[in-house]
Chain A
Amino acid sequence: MSVKDNLHNLKEKYKGTKMAPAFNAIHTFLYLPNEVTHGGTHIKAADDLKRTMNIVIVALIPCLIFGMFNAGYQHYAAIDGSLRTDVLANFFTFDNLWIGIIKVLPLVIVSYGVGLLVEFIFAVIKGHEVEEGYLVTGMLVPLIVPVDTPLWMLSVAVVFGVIIGKEVFGGTGMNILNPALTIRAFLFFAYPTWMSGDKVWVYDAVNMSEADAISGETMLGYYAKASQDLTIKGTNGAADLVTTYGDRANELYSTFDKFMGFIPGSVGETSTFLILIGAAILIFTKIASWRIILSAFVGAAVMGLIFNQVVAADIITESSKFYGLMSTVWWEHLTIGGLAFGAVFMATDPVTGSQTNKGKWIYGFLIGFISIMIRVFNPAYPEGVFLAILLMNVFAPTIDHYVVQGNIKKRLNRTKVKTA
């Protein structure tokens, strides 16, 4: 008997038992099930939820691979700054990849392992099928955490995020908040000292001498303190280097570096270039809403422009703590921090986002707009995109409500015209 027949017999055997959902999850992973239509349409289109989720994962893989190389690159560049002079030659090396393998892959494995375990347990207890939502969440989580996140911390956060973010609402399709962002927010607020600052973004930065580790600061960290003085102690008897954070950032990273992602940051969100490739895949396959992605970028650009104008009008001066990020050129805001990643992969979650096409424009725009606002006004923890998306997740049903009310009103008016 073939594998197919054996599995079919096993499925029949487990039918109706507690373990059926767990078995079916593995079975349907291997084989598209033999279910046929009853009642409604006799034929169905080719797509199912697994296929949809799978495309998102495909779109994320370039970011993951890049993130693995970048983990090593940032580590070695922090030790030896001269590596930065020729990024392209020093980036795709096996040493870098190896750091990725020992630091990033465990994040992926723990994220999937813990998350899917919780999903399976819930499916067995509640007697529903294991749903595919976590396939994407499990991939997003390792990409939006700092590389030095301890695995136990990640596990705790994943358990929290899957249960509170999703399962208590009834599972995939019912949740209000994006589960991946719930996990990220949990990490951020439960372990704030660990999750921010300049030590966590580069592998092993905690153990490096101060002189090296300072370049573990993210771009947002630099820009937030742009006008502050920075003294880098000279190593091997060299003279101390006195500069400002802003100048140091520009010295270390070119615009090309920022766009391509050769900068410190969370694992998979640094490369705006690869994120845009992911966006192209999602939009071409019609999996993600181009309306949300486009409007999020527009929203961020508009907020950035407003801040630039505020600075240009001298309302905010260099002495202000907001000056650094406010004076950052608007288009640069789009390439640094997690904005692009959030706009492309997180804001477009169909379950927690706006569901109407009109609503998607508003929802996306506000995500971009509020992201930059939070980024600028909260220089202590400058990444605002995940808070902005979580906030808009909460408001998405309200936006939809008003969009749908428009349709209802149109229908009522039609009746009124008739009876008048």
Chain B
Amino acid sequence: MSKDIRIKKGLDIKLIGAAEKSTINSSQSSIYAVKPEDFHGIIPKLIAKEGALVEAGEALFHSKSDARILFPSPVSGTVVEVVRGARRKVLSVKITADAIQQYKDFGTKEADAMSGEEVKDFLCTAGCWPFIKQRPYDVVANPNQVPKSIFISAYASAPLAADLEYVLAGREAELQAAITAVSKLTKGTVHVSVGAEANSPLANLVGAEIHKVSGPHPSGNVGTQIAHIDPINKGEVVWIITPQDLLVIGELFLTGKLNLKRTVALTGSQFSSPQYVTAIAGAAIADVTANNLKDDNTRIISGNVLSGKEVKVAEFLGYYDNQITAIPEGDDYEFFGWNKPIFNKISTSRALTFSWLSPNKKYDLNTNTNGEHRAFVVTGSYEEVFPLDIYPMQLLKAFMYKDLDEMEALGGYEVAPEDFALTEFVCVSKQPHQKIIREGLDLMREELG
């Protein structure tokens, strides 16, 4: 039985620089990098040493806690450098790409005829396991657990998010193959949510329950959808996969190759022509954004403006990201900026801020914090943009003073950092909500498992 999700609480942040629906191929980068920090909570154990030759899909490292979880090289070439930080922590593994790409052949499979265990082993061997993440804790899934259900959100509501309808168009075969495969991993249901209005390529899949989603952001966040369809209770695990990662899984089953090429949306006001490019995970930002970036005082974000990661031009595309956003830095003072009427910034209040007058206007926001960090003062503003049945401020405070009982009781198992992106955006006290949640979840994971 499908359940439509309609939320009212939330906020659509409308920004300048949505990607035009045209796709170009970015030139192949000379160097690709896989960063273990993209896989939160994973401690890497290197397999490929410096100088080793790897094929695309061949493992570079595995998880220290479970050797089955392999992290593959996105390209074929030579491992040139393992960049280490403090206490020899692996920061990234860099690979120079061959001119002609060699893919490791994992052999095609017919998912229909496979058991859950076989699917699991195949995904692990082929380096697809990191695509499966779990709630609670928002980390790469533990293959030893059985999820009560699997969620796929094919509705992107984040600011300037890639249009999944456009990106996934014509890839029904891969998507279907992937759904068939992952549905073996759970005894429960595979839930796929699509936009209520959209004509999603996922809307007609077999073997999944389709939900129609409408309402402002964070309606597209998988956390919001889980909470509405099948909330996580203590002791339960839910797995989540993004649609663009489903494509990779599907292609693996159909062709036997791990192809990490994806369509990336270049968005934000600092791109001269915001559009889509194809790029391989771990590609150099400089190559993906070539000839497009206005580089005067620009913040480049791998991901969206709410929960993406700040990157430099010399760095690399995140493993999961299908969006690069570029917005102006806001490192300037503003005379009497705290009390003059504001027309060019978004606000949920009406405190001499006038964004409520023009709900459809698109803004060019910069990275200024618009104020200083303070203790929690204002109440009631988070609830307006937070659709989960959780008291956001109380949960944040419990996470800050690390009371595990309260963290659990107030709904800690149901949240991920991205669920607190909007509350962080509207926070008058400029508290780092997502960081608080991330650190709290890590603590819960350590103490409660």
Contact = CB atoms under 8 A, between A and B. Distances in A.
- A in complex with B: yes
16 contacts: A34-B368, A37-B368, A39-B435, A44-B370, A46-B353, A47-B428, A48-B370, A51-B338, A51-B339, A51-B371, A52-B377, A52-B428, A285-B349, A286-B348, A287-B349, A351-B377
A290 B421 CA distance: 26
B301 A286 contact: no
A284 B350 contact: yes
Interface in B223-275: 231, 233-235
Contact of A40 (B329, B349, B370, B435): B435
Given A36-B367, A414-B231, A46 B345 contact: yes
Given A35-B369, A44-B370, A173 B377 contact: yes
Nearest to B426: A45
B347 A411 contact: no
A40 B378 CA distance: 20
B89 to A, nearest CB: 18
Interface in B93-114: none
Interface stretch (B28-36, B170-178, B278-286, B388-396): B388-396
A160 to B, nearest CB: 22
Interface of A: 4, 7-8, 28-52, 54-55, 129, 131-133, 170-174, 284-287, 289, 350-351, 353, 355-357, 360, 400, 404, 407-408, 410-412, 414-415, 418
A33 B365 contact: no
Contact of A32 (B371, B377, B430): B371
Interface stretch (B18-26, B41-49, B58-66, B304-312): B304-312
B434 A40 contact: yes
A44 B391 contact: no
B371 A43 contact: no
Contact of B429 (A46, A49, A360, A404): A49
Contacts of B355: 46
B334 interface: yes
Contacts of A47: 347-349, 351, 353, 370-371, 426, 428
A42 B268 CA distance: 12
Nearest to A173: B375
Given A37-B367, A42-B327, A49-B428, A131 B374 contact: yes
A322 to B, nearest CB: 37
Contacts of B373: 129
Nearest to B405: A408
A285 B389 CA distance: 25
Interface string B322-362: 00010101111111111100100111111111010000000
A40 B377 contact: no
A39 B432 contact: yes
Contacts of B432: 39-40
B94 to A, nearest CB: 25
Contacts of A35: 331, 368-369, 372
Nearest to B15: A43
A40 B368 contact: no
B333 A4 contact: yes
Q: Is the interface of B mostly helix, strand, loop or mixed?
A: loop
Contacts of B370: 32, 44-48
Nearest to B330: A36
A33 B335 CA distance: 9
B379 A353 contact: yes
B380 interface: yes
Interface residues of B, number: 75
B305 A42 contact: yes
B299 to A, nearest CB: 6
A53 to B, nearest CB: 9
A344 to B, nearest CB: 16
A174 B400 CA distance: 14
Contacts, number: 221
Nearest to B365: A43
Contact of A46 (B346, B375, B381): B346
Given A43-B365, A286-B351, A287-B349, A30 B336 contact: yes
B425 A54 contact: no
B371 A49 contact: yes
B430 A48 contact: yes
B424 interface: yes
Contact of A33 (B333, B346, B435): B333
A30 B305 CA distance: 28
Interface string B400-428: 00000000011100000000010011111
A14 to B, nearest CB: 15
A298 to B, nearest CB: 19
Contact of A44 (B383, B389, B425): B425
Pick from A286, A289, A410 the residue with the most CB of B within 10 Å.
A286
Contacts of A355: 379-380, 393-394
A31 B336 CA distance: 5
B409 A411 contact: yes
A350 B434 contact: no
Pick from B234, B327, B378 the residue with the most CB of A within 10 Å.
B378
A418 B327 CA distance: 46
B350 A51 contact: no
Given A8-B333, A36-B329, A414-B233, A41 B381 contact: no
B425 A45 contact: yes
A11 to B, nearest CB: 10
Q: Which 6 residue pairs of A and B lie closest in terms of their CB atoms, listed nearest first?
A: A48-B371, A32-B337, A173-B375, A46-B345, A31-B333, A50-B338
Pick from A46, A129, A171, A415 the residue with the most CB of B within 10 Å.
A46
Contacts of B299: 36, 42
Given A43-B425, A286-B349, A418 B233 contact: yes
B368 A44 contact: yes
A54 B337 CA distance: 12
B346 A172 contact: no
Contacts of B342: 46
B152 interface: no
Contact of A410 (B365, B389, B435): B389
Nearest to A52: B428
B338 A407 contact: no
A391 to B, nearest CB: 19
Given A350-B377, A414-B233, A31 B393 contact: no
Contact of A55 (B13, B351, B365, B421): B351
Given A404-B394, A415-B233, A46 B372 contact: no
B366 interface: yes
Contacts of B375: 131, 170-174
B351 A52 contact: yes
Contact of B380 (A289, A408, A410): A289
B433 interface: yes
Given A43-B305, A44-B368, A49 B374 contact: yes
A7 B393 CA distance: 36
Given A51-B351, A173-B376, A355-B393, A43 B367 contact: yes
Contacts of B338: 28-29, 32, 48, 50-51, 54
B449 to A, nearest CB: 16
